[in-house]
Structure 1
Amino acid sequence: MCSRDEPTVPALSLRPSTGAAEYPALVAIWRSAVDATHDFLADAHRDEIESHLQSDYFPAVTLWVAELDGRPVGFFGVLDGNLEMLFVDPTQHGAGIGTALLRHAIAEHGVAKVDVNEQNVSAAGFCVHRGFEVVSRSEKDEAGRPYPLLHLRLNESF
């Protein structure tokens, strides 16, 4: 899925989430990743989203976890062919973990679509570099907040 110059992570393992017992660790990854990449997000909106992760968002998706040395360092959630979430511990950004998670989501879970905050330029670039293309845009996010979304689809020729 990716160019040969991207790093590989030999000690990385991917597995299904074990459920609610590990949600706090995933929330911590989410929070640190959002703090590092979503500087456009108002604190109140970030806190509101975070308050729904364990109770609403995680249980609604097929959730997979990336581990290094037995410690979660990233995760993704998929629903009906849509990548609903993909977050990596920011201390591990650039190590190939996000790429490994995305490859797995595409190959094993049929992911063909993803929505990305327009202001999150690095995430949009990450997806485009890995075969997605922007097909449309919304002025607000799915909850009506003022964060434009780019709707991307996996390029059929990829």
Structure 2
Amino acid sequence: MKEIQNQAQPERAAQQDYDELIELWDASVRSSHHFLTEEDIQYYKPLIRNNYFQAVRLYVIRDKENGQIAAFMGLSDELIEMLFVHPDQQGKGYGKILLEYACQKENIRKVDVNEQNGQALHFYRNRGFEVIARDETDAQGKPFPILHMQLK
């Protein structure tokens, strides 16, 4: 795995970042959530952009070369609600930096993962998370099982 420079640190996202964030979300979901149809993506996209972003504390990491957002996460009081890395930026350690920030600085110990997203499941398991519960559907009642994970 390529390591990124030490100075890459999460910063709070602003509302003016939402358009860039939703485009990153879209690219990331298309590369990792193969179980979603185009109809599913179009269903979730406005919910993420217009509701979910405002319901969490959003953190971003910007690419030092071009200033674009390379990765972002959203945190609630006790949960990593979302963590996405742009497909072109994967493997550079951005996800790990965000996860470490959540665990060390925000004392977050839980995350929910789509069961069909093997890449995310592998990422969290490799960092000490284990499945503690499972729901048959997502929060919208759609047939996408959710795994509730917690840091050991």
- Inter-partner Cα distance in structure 1 for 2:52 and 2:150: 22
Structure 2 residue 113 is matched with structure 1 residue 116: yes
- Inter-partner Cα distance in structure 1 for 2:33 and 2:21: 17
- Corresponding residue of 2:12: 16
1:32-43 aligned within 5 A = 32-43=27-38
2:9 corresponds to which letter in structure 1? S
- Inter-partner Cα distance in structure 1 for 2:108 and 2:9: 19
1:1-158 aligned within 5 A = 6-10=1-5, 12-17=8-13, 19-69=14-64, 70-155=67-152
- Contact 2:74–2:80 (CA under 8 A) maintained in structure 1: yes
- Inter-partner Cα distance in structure 2 for 1:44 and 1:115: 22
Larger CA deviation: 106-115 vs 121-130: 106-115
- Inter-partner Cα distance in structure 2 for 1:7 and 1:101: 16
In structure 2, the residue corresponding to 1:140 is in which secondary structure?
coil
Identity of aligned residues (%): 36
- Inter-partner Cα distance in structure 2 for 1:73 and 1:20: 17
In structure 2, the residue corresponding to 1:12 is in which secondary structure?
coil
Q: CA RMSD in A?
A: 1.1
Offset of residue 110 of structure 1 = 1.5
Divergent runs of 4+, >6 A: none
1:15 corresponds to which letter in structure 2? E
Deviations 1:87-115 (A, max 9, x none): 00001111111111111111111111111
1:21 corresponds to which letter in structure 2? Q
- Contact 1:15–1:64 (CA under 8 A) maintained in structure 2: yes
- Inter-partner Cα distance in structure 1 for 2:47 and 2:18: 11
- Inter-partner Cα distance in structure 2 for 1:58 and 1:110: 20
- Inter-partner Cα distance in structure 1 for 2:97 and 2:19: 22
**TM-score, L = length of structure 1:** 0.90
Specify every segment of 5 or more residues in structure 1 that has no aligned partner in the other structure, as ranges: 1-5
- Contact 2:61–2:71 (CA under 8 A) maintained in structure 1: yes
